[in-house]
Amino acid sequence: MTARIIDGNALSAKLRGELAAKAAELTAKGTQPCLAVILVGGDPASAVYVRNKVAGCEKAGIKSLKFEYPQDAAPADVLGKIAELNADPSVHGILVQLPLPKQFDEKEVLEAIAVEKDVDGFHAENVGRLSQGQEAFVPCTPNGVMEMLKSIEMPLRGAEAVVIGRSNIVGKPMAMLLTAAGATVTVCHSGTRDLNFHTRRADILVAAIGKPKFVTGDMVKPGATVIDVGINRLPDGKLCGDVDFESAKEVAGAITPVPGGVGPMTITMLLVNTVVSAERSLAKLKG
Ligand code: NDP
């Protein structure tokens, strides 16, 4: 039997519909949710991500502002723009598209964003709050994965979850969220001995590696839920994930495709965070 496909496009459409209603309500009350996006340099993949984020905003009735800088932009100019956006009460979310050119200190840029507008959830204070179970903006990709698990009513308490990858934007927050939800979590990385030993005992296997078709069917426990975060471009121009979909779907119980899986959910959760930020800002105005 082949696996159930977890359709990120369908789930996104449902959530974005609910979100558009909320955004319209806020707009009617004089607070249209607004996301400011900063793009530095000409990385084509980054340009596509930003275009999709801006288009997602438009469809949901969220205002978007886009600021573009050349590859050789001075960090002071970008930091100056962030300070301006921090001070602007009509802006609820600020996102700096990563990666940044090498003259930038990414950490410095991310920490310059006001915590209450950090809709990507990358600011160290948001990360700390998340780790302590306090209210925080949750990074969009792992948050989207949690929504996908919820959508299939995957029991998380006591489940064995294995996350491959320990990056700040995916692997680490993913592990935090699964831990908070009651799963027993193992985080694997390039130094892991006998990766297959771990992956084969996972009820939930999350691949966030950046290597095309790395996870093959023989690494998957029969019936497991496989979440493929990877986005890789093959030499023929096609997109593929970190999981070998064809072999894994024969073993897994449920699996996310690429494209049409975690990718659209990431943008959806960014829109969710922006609307939440606008709601908080309106509540503050009233309070
Ligand atoms: P990083 O390159 O920052 O991290 C990759 C992780 O994989 C590292 O922790 C690395 O280990 C680990 N790794 C690499 N090789 C191996 C190996 N042979 N065995 C076990 N672990 C290994 O990537 P990101 O987390 O930023 O992204 C991961 C993937 O997800 C990429 O394909 C990216 O494009 C995609 N992505 C998709 C998003 C979406 O919206 N769907 C959003 C963000 C990313 P170590 O730490 O030891 O180096």
Q: What is the pLDDT of residue 287?
A: 80
Q: Is the CB of 195 under 6 A from ligand 1?
A: yes
For residue 62, report the distance from its CA to the centre of ligand 1, in Å: 30
Given the CA of residue 166, which atom of ligand 1 is nearest to it? 9
The answer to whether residue 283 sits within a structural domain is: no
pLDDT beneath 50, residues of the chain: none
What is d(CA 119, CA 269) in angstroms, rounded to the nearest whole number?
9
Q: What is the pLDDT of residue 286?
A: 84
What CATH number has the domain bearing residue 38? 3.40.50.10860
With a threshold of 0.95, tell me whether the complex ipTM lies above it.
yes
Structure tokens at 241: 């994930």
Q: What is the pLDDT of residue 1?
A: 76
Residues 6+ apart with CB under 8 A from 248: 3, 215, 216, 217, 220, 226, 255
Q: What is the pLDDT of residue 285?
A: 87
Residues 6+ apart with CB under 8 A from 139: 120, 121, 122, 169, 170, 173
The answer to whether residue 123 sits within a structural domain is: no
User: Could you tell me which residues are annotated as the binding site?
Assistant: 165-167, 231
The single-letter DSSP state of residue 104 is: S
Q: What is the pLDDT of residue 19?
A: 97
Catalytic member of 22, 53, 213, 249: 53
Q: Considering its fold, how many domains does the chain have in total?
A: 2
Structural domain of residue 187, as residue ranges? 140-262
Kindly report the average pLDDT of the chain as a whole number: 97
Q: Are 216 and 238 in contact (CB under 8 A)?
A: no
The answer to whether residue 122 sits within a structural domain is: no
Tens digits of residue pLDDT in 192-239: 999 999 999 999 999 999 999 999 999 999 999 999 999 999 999 999
Q: What is the pLDDT of residue 265?
A: 98
Same structural domain, 70 and 149: no
